[in-house]
Amino acid sequence: MLCVVLGKRGQGKSTWIKNTLPALPSFLLYDTLGEHQGANYFNRPEEVLKYFGNFPDYGAPGYKAIFRPRGIAWRDAEPMEWCCRFSYALGNLALIIEEVDAFTGANMYPRALGDMINFGRHRNVDLIVSARRAALVPRLLTSQASDFVLFNMTEVRDIKWVGETLGESMDRLRDLQRGQFLRWTSGEITQGETSPQ
């Protein structure tokens, strides 16, 4: 699965991700802005490596880690790229990247993220990313996405882009209340609401 979660800040993207985590057998979450909590919360790559035990079981189910590097600028892409490389090497897990648009543009993205988008499925790595601006998510990523989770948007260019990408009008995104979302999966659209954490 390659899932893109889009919407304005404070509309429920991180809550949707939090609601999704328990269903994932194994994951590494790159917590760009420090919005997640958990027992397996790490600030340095060495801690993540130690937790995963240098992957002796090749990504055995049950490994669930949150990585939020300390002491660097939050927009520094290097730790996020490390997560991409590590997840690819490990295999058999979901990689979640919060606020991916902090590191990307429509036609600009770190090479490790591009490799994950193009080849992660060969290592059984699912990719879930959140972003505030649809227009800043790499076209490579959106062209390969199987799922979109869409929260409230008001920026005309973002709504237009979503509509053109998914093949139907998305003006109703303006009317979604906080926590409400539309989920597009292979052409089917359903509406839902996040559960508070």
* Residues 58-72 pLDDT 10s: 555 678 999 988 766
| Phi, psi angles (nearest 5°) of residue 19 | -70, -25
Look at residue 55 in the predicted model and tell me its pLDDT: 57
Look at residue 56 in the predicted model and tell me its pLDDT: 58
Look at residue 147 in the predicted model and tell me its pLDDT: 94
Identify the bridge partners of residue 185 per DSSP, sorted by sequence position: 147, 188
Residue 196, classed as helix, strand or coil, is coil
Look at residue 126 in the predicted model and tell me its pLDDT: 96
Report percent pLDDT > 90 for the chain: 46
Please tell me the CATH superfamily of domain 2-150, with its number. P-loop containing nucleotide triphosphate hydrolases (3.40.50.300)
Look at residue 177 in the predicted model and tell me its pLDDT: 94
- Answer yes or no: are the C-beta atoms of 30 and 98 closer than 8 Å: yes
pLDDT by residue for the chain (197 residues), tens only, comes to: 999 999 999 999 999 999 999 999 999 999 887 788 877 889 888 898 888 875 555 555 678 999 988 766 556 778 889 999 999 988 999 999 999 888 887 787 889 999 999 999 999 999 999 999 888 888 899 899 999 999 999 998 889 889 888 887 788 899 999 999 999 998 889 999 997 75
The owner of tokens 């909590």 is 37
Look at residue 170 in the predicted model and tell me its pLDDT: 84
Look at residue 102 in the predicted model and tell me its pLDDT: 84
Residue 35, classed as helix, strand or coil, is coil
Strands (E), 36-143: 41-42, 64-67, 93-97, 125-131
Look at residue 54 in the predicted model and tell me its pLDDT: 55
Q: How many CA atoms lie within 13 A of 124 on its CB side?
A: 12
